Structure 1
Amino acid sequence: MALVLNGVPWFDDRGEVVNAHGACLVDDGGRYYLFGEHKTDDENRFDGVGCWSSTDLATWTFERVVLPVQPDGPLGPGRIGERPKVLRSPTTGAFVMLLHSDDLGYTDPVVGVATCDTVAGEYRWHGPLLFEGEPVRRWDLGTFQDDDGTAYLLVHEGDVYRLSDDCLVAEEKVASQVAPGGESPAMWQVDGTYHLLFSGKTSWERNDNYVLSAPSVRGPWRHAGTLAAPGTLTHDSQCSFVARVRRGDEVVPVYMGDRWSFPHQASAATQVWLPLLVEDGRARLGEYWPAWDPETGERVDLPGVVAGDRFVSDDPATRFEVEVDLPAGGGRLAVLGTSDSASGYARVDLVGEDGEARSHLVDLYSKVTADGPVYVSPALPAGRWTVRVAPTGEVPAWWKKDGTRFGSSGAKVTVEGVAVLT
């Protein structure tokens, strides 16, 4: 069974982490294409836009870095490139990517444009998106394409621009400042009601994302509460996009969110994807699901601990270790543990009886305490595997320009044991 697994690293056909953040999903020719920031583990700089494809939202094939670092200019070396969003022009058929470009100090923002004739080819950088002849100098962005093909640019604070038919120019501002203090916008439409999603400004930290609703993209927009239950911090994630996912004869909205992991965004940041509900005209997320079936849209319960004793430590000289036998046909190994506000990074090592070894970094920090899978391996062959989990001693923490500290208060690692997924 193909499962969407939340809050754990995803692995592609190469066995590499799916490093796609601030992402979007495009359905083309019966295949889904995931575009996202190809992050680094050393600093928050642009390292390209990556693309992966899938038919089931669970198994991912690496396509390529579709927009690499440019020789110079807004996406040149030492710059920022964030929140790539890809649309298809209803008139030209070209694929158009919009993204935020900036310097490392976030003092030179611009919304940029790149295009490609094919969904997963190499995109050509054109430069800034223009509105009334001037570059759109905004940062957090999203996009939305209505049923009639009309495309919109969404930016922080709640401005919405209608794009030209070729999606290369912002032609009209149709809403202004409808969400002061809001960032990471996303929009979707169900039964004639438009829903506009925002996160609060808390740096890489998660918060209770909220929704505005309206009968038209032009408004009037009204606040419709938090997306998930208050205090859950949107299931410990920040919105990035709302995808349109096929389910039988229906197309249903799916929330896509990031669990950032500063500073190790490339190796330890993860995703939270969940079906969106609309009840009595109100959009919301239900309870958190560690795993769900994208074919049915229903939760799938994962197995419990089959091996190992509870382990709690912040000392890199200590480790959890257990041997687990995978049955004929192989399977995946899941490390079950606890994430909380005093937890840090762990190194997970898997060693097969033939000497095959895999090593991955996992982030156990969460402002909201949660129990469940903190790591699920790629598919492994049958046989005996040794699972080791050790604290690295590093604390996930970061500071805003004004000195405000975010992140964990410690480097604790809690492991309950190992489960087997077949």
Structure 2
Amino acid sequence: VGFNCYSSKDLYNWKFESIALPVQKSGKLGPNRVGERVKVMKNLKSGEYVMFMHVDTLGYKDQFVGYAVAKKITGPYEFKGPLLFNGKPIKKWDMGIFQDVNGKGYLLTHGGVIHELSDDYKSIKAETNKQISSGFESPTLFKRGDTYYFIGSHLTSWEKNDNYYYTAKSLGGPWTARGLIAPKDKLTWNSQSTFVLAIEGLKGYTYMYMGDRWSYPRQLSAATYVWQPISFDGDAMSIPNYNTAWTVDVITSEAKQKTIDHKVISNNDDRIKYTGNWKKSTLENIPVTRADDKNASCKITFTGTRIGLQTLVLPDNGYANIVLTNKKGKILVKNLVDMYSKAPTSTLVFLSPLLPKGEYTLTISVAGERPNWSDKKKNNYGSTANNITIEKLLIKE
């Protein structure tokens, strides 16, 4: 389809605005090509919106940073081709952008390289910072006070890992290694950094970490995001806990955990009807019901306004098909949910939209697929089986 544009007034309710840049009829962003990690900045001098993206083949063998321009943030954008530095494309995969308070724009590429953009943002003016790490994928940069924070991830293909960060008082460095941004072995709460959004309140800012939760090979249908508030201690940052739900106090600018006040239905509740070969077990001290048979499914009919699924994501889990229907059998929601995680974690993997109070049926079935891939060196990653796991359902009446 292309790059879609959505808008929101509260970061919770989102409205589709447009296909800002559709797939081109031919060329570098044409059919059977890849466009990802899209970012947009408004050029304060020209008023134009400039879009940046990683452009590539499906096999990731023709990578470069491309750009497009538009008069409005919603588009339509016109793809201009590769962003040039000294007349040559930036041949990198992972990229990000940063706009400083003075309006200067910067391109970030893996390794920690920072390029200053030209005044119109349509080419590279200079290399501001050289490589600071041999890895440092998914570069993410933000500024708080007089300190710059630079987040990156290790080289583990599509697999999640423990992201880490540097700080500096100048974009040209020197950069100081500060360690991990989340507890060790939590794999940055199963995500990879992509952006940090400063949410302005009356008394300051809340800084929101935004991470990609990749799901290869079903990126378009199963990949999601992780948005978490960042904590600070002096100039040290961290995401010490995973908040299933949280909110920002617009007066104090403080992030606060929010309780999901729903009725809990355990996996062994008689209201859940299982079909096929399911097995009950206790893993990570959590009672669960599991299946890997593609004919296996379970369903629950309930009266309420919303339903969610919390489960134990595991190294041998795969994809689950989730379908929510109303009393007449009309499909309201149909999702492919990734239940794989290298690090076992109990987490919310599905939450329906808020619906009018009524009778609904949720069906969960084994998709018979799993996240699994190999990198350029033929190292294998991902799940070892197609299991799906049911821990508990959450129902809002």
Q: TM-score scaled to structure 2, two decimals?
A: 0.90
Determine which of 41, 48, 51 is the counterpart of 1:87.
41
State the partner residue of 2:338: 363
Judge which range, 247-256 or 113-122, deviates more. Answer: 247-256
Q: Residue 237 of structure 2 is aligned with which of 283, 308, 313?
A: 283
Counterpart mapping for 1:265-276 below 5 A: 265-276=219-230
Q: Does 1:340 align with 2:314?
A: yes
2:358 is aligned with 1:383 = yes
Residue 259 of structure 2 is matched in structure 1 by 301
What's 1:411 paired with?
386
Q: How does 1:21-36 map to 2 (within 5 A)?
A: none
CA distance in 2, matches of 1:250, 1:166: 30
Q: Which one-letter code corresponds to 2:365 in the other structure? A: A
CA distance in 2, matches of 1:211, 1:421: 39
Give the whole-Å Cα distance in 2 for the aligned partners of 1:113 and 1:374.
34
1:349 corresponds in structure 2 to 323
SS in 2 for 1:267: helix
Q: How does 1:192-341 map to 2 (within 5 A)?
A: 192-295=146-249, 296-303=254-261, 305-307=263-265, 309-310=267-268, 311-326=289-304, 331-341=305-315
Residue 261 of structure 1: how far off its partner (Å):
1.1
Give the greater-gyration-radius structure (CA).
2
Return the alpha-carbon distance in structure 1 between the equivalents of residues 245 and 50 of structure 2.
32
RMSD value over aligned CA atoms? 1.6
Q: 1:148 to 1:252 in 2, by over 3 A?
A: farther
**Do the aligned residues in 1 keep the contact of 2:267 with 2:393 (CA within 8 Å)?**
no
Q: Which moved more, 1:52-61 or 1:301-310?
A: 301-310
Shift of 1:305: 4.8
CA contact (8 A) 2:141 2:151 kept: yes
Structure 2 SS opposite 1:244? strand
Question: Structure 1: how far apart are the matches of 2:215 and 2:44?
Answer: 37
Whether the aligned pair in 2 keeps the contact of 1:305 and 1:416 (CA below 8 Å) is no
For residues 248-282 of structure 1, what are the alpha-carbon distances to aligned partners after superposition, in whole Å with 9 as ceiling and x for unaligned?
A: 34333211101111111112111100112221211
The worse-fitting range, judged by mean Cα deviation, of 196-205 and 346-355 is 346-355
The answer for the alignment partner of 2:2 in structure 1 is 48
The alpha carbon displacement at 1:241 in A equals: 0.9
Aligned-partner residue type, residue 59 of structure 1:
N
User: Match of 1:107, as an amino acid?
Assistant: K
Unaligned runs of 5+ in 1: 1-46
* Percentage of pairs with the same residue: 37
Distance in 1 between residues matched to 2:247 and 2:258, nearest whole Å: 7
Supply the distance in 2 between the matched residues of 1:356 and 1:82 (Cα, whole angstroms): 33
- Answering whether residue 55 of structure 2 is matched by residue 101 of structure 1, we say yes
Instruction: Report the residue type matching 2:290 in the other structure.
Output: V
* Residue matched to 1:13: none
Which letter does structure 1 place at the counterpart of 2:312? T
216-225 vs 298-307, greater mean Cα deviation = 298-307
CA distance in 1 between counterparts of 2:134 and 2:259 reads 39
Q: Tell me what 1:4 maps to.
A: none
Q: Is the 8 A contact 2:246 2:255 kept in 1?
A: yes
Question: Post-superposition, which runs of at least 4 consecutive aligned residues in structure 1 deviate over 4 A?
Answer: none
Q: Residue type of the partner of 1:55?
A: K
State the aligned residue count: 372
Preserved CA contact (<8 Å) 1:129 1:168 = yes
1:116 aligns with 2:88: no
| CA displacement at 1:147 relative to structure 2 | 1.1
Paired position in structure 2 for 1:75 = 29
The superposition leaves residues 76-122 of structure 1 with CA deviations (integer Å, 9 ceiling, x where unpaired) of 22222121111111210111111111222322222111111111121
SS at match of 2:80: strand
For 1:354 and 1:306, how far apart are their aligned partners in 2? 25
Residue number in structure 2 paired with 1:374: 349
CA distance in 2, matches of 1:245, 1:315: 45
Give the structure-1-normalised TM-score.
0.84
Q: Report the equivalent of 1:5.
A: none
SS at match of 1:218: coil
* Contact 1:89–1:96 (8 Å) recurs in 2: yes
Shift of 1:181: 1.3
